[in-house]
Structure 1
Amino acid sequence: MNTRNRWLVISVGLGVLLNPLNSSMISVAIARLQQAYRLDFTAVSWIIFSFYIASAIAQPVMGKISDLFGRRKIFMAGLIVSFVSFAASWLASLSPNFGWLIVARVVQSIGTSMLVAVGMAIVRVHVTEKQASALSVISIFLSGAAAIGPFVGGILLKWWDWPSLFIASLPFVAASFVLARKTIPKDKPAVSAAHHRSLRQWLILIDASGIVLFTVGLVGLLIGLLSIKSTGHVSSGNIIIGLIGLAALVAFVRQELKTSSPFIPLRTFARYPALAGVNVQNMIVNLLFYALFFGLPSYLQLVRHVSEFHTGMLMLTLGACSLVASPIAGRWIDKSGPRPALVVSALLMALGSVWLVILTPTSPVISVSLALAAFGISNGLNAVAMQAALFRSSPKEMAGVASGLFNTSRYVGTMLSSLLTGVVMGGTFSFGGFRWLGVILTIIALILVVMGLRYRESGQSQQPV
């Protein structure tokens, strides 16, 4: 990369890290939030669910809007929204009402989502040489921020308590804003009449009805499933909520297939089966990774009684290994393509999952670092390999939409991981539940090994699994 592209990638990276950093720092604060608001694990989990639901909705919408109005404009707007939302989240943390904190987290998620969806599209369009190397730098910001989030969160909790988690990102916002103004090329003049649309036309363009159905379906299904798990029995109310969510998701699929401007273009998956395969694989990767990512800190604190600070120190193994693996992955994928990295990554996830299964109640706490190292290296490889596979499977003219869809699949996988962890663990964490989680993760990792082995490139395509 030349010097200008290098600074462009850094400016984008400083913006895109805000979403994973703020979603991961909270993982070491779950136990503290339960105490502060006197809530059970299921209720507190909504601080995770709300962030990812909002991200899953916002990213494809912002990707579509950036394709219409310009990626630089949306990226800069996202930085402004993020700055305001971090301050709002800090103020909300001072309120005794947990609901206000959830609202602030949703706004925070929307602002940072603008940066992720648009930032990846900016790199796709403006960095035309050594894209895998550029992706490896972005992956250092993305996966590195997600992986070191618990470590940063542990330090903040030790010295300033949990409200500090919501303003720690402000220096990154400022740095990204300064660099982005200088390095991201100005948008070309709009060639469409998008600026002159009426409100009704805009609602149709962004598929407002599809967004509402997707949101109602996802939230309803999660509430129904989590309520059944936490109460220990099936009530008529739980069944009704779950069925409403399921019906809304069915209606959502029908809506997306018939509308001319879908929120999630399901027909695109039929036209580009490789794109569908990449998104499915990305969803499963993140289901596995974040089940460990959110499950392990709670296990260490609630079962093994490790402090937040030392939990963050242990989780640093994950971040360090991700940071080391990402640049190596970039050079490797530039030469060999995504397939070898995808296979090795899946094998490492399987190895880490097996290690969780063979842990005993008397195993040294430090031994979890072996599983974290395997997942960290895997995360660094996956972050670059999956993005490279995405670029090879989607046309450049739909870079914003493809990036938004890709990140939506990531957030769906993350939400499923939180749901899986909650269902397996039940109302409280236990060693038995943690071991069962390891067994399930091992099975999922083996599925990923098969998917990696079946990955095939043919020009710009991949055979669906």
Structure 2
Amino acid sequence: MTAASPDTAFDRRLVPPMILGAVLNPINSSMVAVALVPIGIAFGAPPAETAWLVSGLYLATAIGQPVVGRLVDTFGPRRLFLTGTALVGAAGVLGALSPQLWVLVLARVLLGFGTCAGYPAAMYLIRAEATRTGANSPAGILTLLSVATQTISVVGPTLGGLLIGLGGWRGVFAVNVPLAAVAFGLGARRLPRTPRTGPVPSLDHAGIALFAVTLVALLLFLMEPARWWLLPVAVAAGAGFARRELTAADPFLDLRVFGGNRPLPATYGRTLLTYVVSYAFLYGYTQWLEEGRGLSASVAGLMLLPMSVTAVAVSALTGRRAAVRGKLVVGALAQVVACAALLAFGAGTPLWMVVGLAIVIGIPQGVVSLANQNALYHQADPGRIGASAGLLRTFGYLGAIVASVGNGVFLADRADTPGLHHLALFLLVVAVVFLAVTLADRSLRSVAGKD
């Protein structure tokens, strides 16, 4: 077989900064899962307060991803990537030296904004390289990105547990300093400069502001439904946002595209549903392992290691298969099985069952996010791939917020076994809905081939 020439092969020098930049967000999303209990003990804070360490990053990321993605589409990935990784390093220092809980929350918010550039920049570069080389479906690179961004999240609890075992909870913040330094160096050396031709494009500042108000109000309402007045604020801001984007000459998010591209909103909806289940496992189930099952943070992290191994293996084995429908169906079925299995867990559950459940839940971790990412790559407008990729992450974090709300409702005072069972019933409903909407979506058969 003849090797590809440099002009027709993906530029492999881009892969390290792409992957490292993209994993900064998911690893910070999940690594803190095993640190919530130790941080609460250190500052004398109840779960309702330490939950802001999760929600703060969610809020910043849900708002920042599509905004930064649009900036990547407009100005190119390099400057956004470098600015973001520098902010990640600063947030790591702030968190590692934090004297109070609210400073930790601020550090998590900075981490959320700082990690927003990695994934949109990677999708932008993949699309740009596909255009340059003529490779319409770079399945290998997309698979590698999915393995890095989606399955790395399940490595987070294990890594967090190891860091806590070595030097305490501050390690989950301090580790961002060397990661950011390496990412910044790679980005400065390898990411291409985007030549500026003509005047600087204008940004839809009004659309961005209305989008931010809508999401902040909605997410704060979801996190604390007692603040009912936030819901009408979200609805009003959302209506203003929709009107603005439908009439603007160069909108931040072109909602008119969605009207003629119904499969893309369906991909966003599936992403929301699957993140509800996956993040409830990462946070609620992990807390139950520590408080309900009585495992240490380090051991709880190790119990989730089979999940990451399974996810990586499944992604690697299925990544080059272009069609997405079969992956989504298998992943949905695995989620249903895993959620149902939680109903049988208790304080005396043997460790082999804990490991077995980790393997089962690793299957959707490996195939569902990969399938949704590939669907988006083929469904999105190439000229707005950064914003579309960022919006995919926004819907993922909407799902994560719903998971956080579920954890707060069912594990309010302590992550005990009755609370876990109530959480499992809620997740089982979500998993069944995900399976149903996947089976009903006929457009999936035409995405990147047929099953």
* TM-score, structure 1 normalization: 0.88
Deviation, structure 1 residue 246: 0.2
> 1:6 offset after TM fit, Å?
3.1
Which residue among 226, 230, 236 is the counterpart of 1:251? 236
The Cα shift of 1:446 comes to 1.8
Q: How does 1:165-184 map to 2 (within 5 A)?
A: 165-184=172-191
In the alignment, the residues of structure 2 paired with residue 414 and residue 190 of structure 1 have an alpha-carbon distance, to the nearest angstrom, of 40
* Unaligned segments of structure 1, at least 5 residues: 226-237
Q: Does 1:110 align with 2:113?
A: yes
Moved over 6 A (4+): 458-462
The CA deviation at 1:360 is 4.0
- Give the 5 Å matches for 1:105-144: 105-127=108-130, 129=135, 130-144=137-151
Residues matched between the structures, number: 434
- 1:354 maps to what in 2? 340
Deviation at 1:389, TM superposition (A): 0.7
CA RMSD of aligned residues (A): 2.2
Q: Secondary structure at the match of 1:437?
A: helix
CA contact (8 A) 1:345 1:382 kept: yes
Identity of aligned residues (%): 25
* Distance in 2 separating the partners of 1:376 and 1:192: 48
Equivalent pair of 1:62/1:118 in contact (CA under 8 Å): no
Say which SS state the counterpart of residue 159 (structure 2) adopts.
helix
Higher helix share: 1
Q: Measure the CA separation in 1 of the matches of 2:186 and 2:58.
A: 27
- Structure 1 residues 47 and 265: CA distance shift in structure 2, 3 A: farther
Q: Is the 8 A contact 1:314 1:366 kept in 2?
A: no
Shift of 1:75: 1.5
Instruction: Report whether the alignment pairs 1:286 with 2:293.
Output: no
Aligned equivalent of 2:260: 271
Map residues 318-333 of structure 1 onto 2, 5 A cutoff: 318-332=307-321
Residue 211 of structure 1, CA deviation: 1.5
Deviation of 1:461 (Å): 6.7
**Does residue 432 of structure 1 match 2:433?**
no
CA distance 1:202–1:263, change in 2 (3 Å): closer
2:64 to 58, 77, 80: 58
Distance 1:15 1:295 in 2: 27
The answer (yes or no) to whether the contact 1:210–1:263 under 8 Å persists in 2 is: no
**Structure 2 gap ranges (5+):** none
User: CA offsets, 1:283-313, max 9 Å, x none?
Assistant: 0010111111111110011111100110011
- Provide the secondary structure at the position in 2 that maps to 1:429: coil
Structure 2 distance, partners of 1:322, 1:366, is 18
Say whether residues 1:187 and 2:194 are aligned partners.
yes
The aligned residue for residue 203 of structure 1 is 205
| Structure 2 CA distance for partners of 1:400 and 1:460, relative to 1, 3 Å | farther
Q: 2:16 matched to 1:16?
A: no
Deviation of the 1:216 alpha carbon: 3.2
| Cα distance in 1, alignment partners of residues 446 and 190 from structure 2 | 30
Shift of 1:37: 1.6
Q: Confirm whether residue 396 of structure 1 aligns to residue 382 of structure 2.
A: yes
Given residue 203 of structure 1, which amino acid in structure 2 is its aligned partner? H
Q: TM-score, normalised by structure 2?
A: 0.90
Q: How far apart, in 1, do the equivalents of 2:51 and 2:251 lie?
A: 30
- Rounded to whole Å, the distance in 2 between the matches of 1:133 and 1:55 is 27
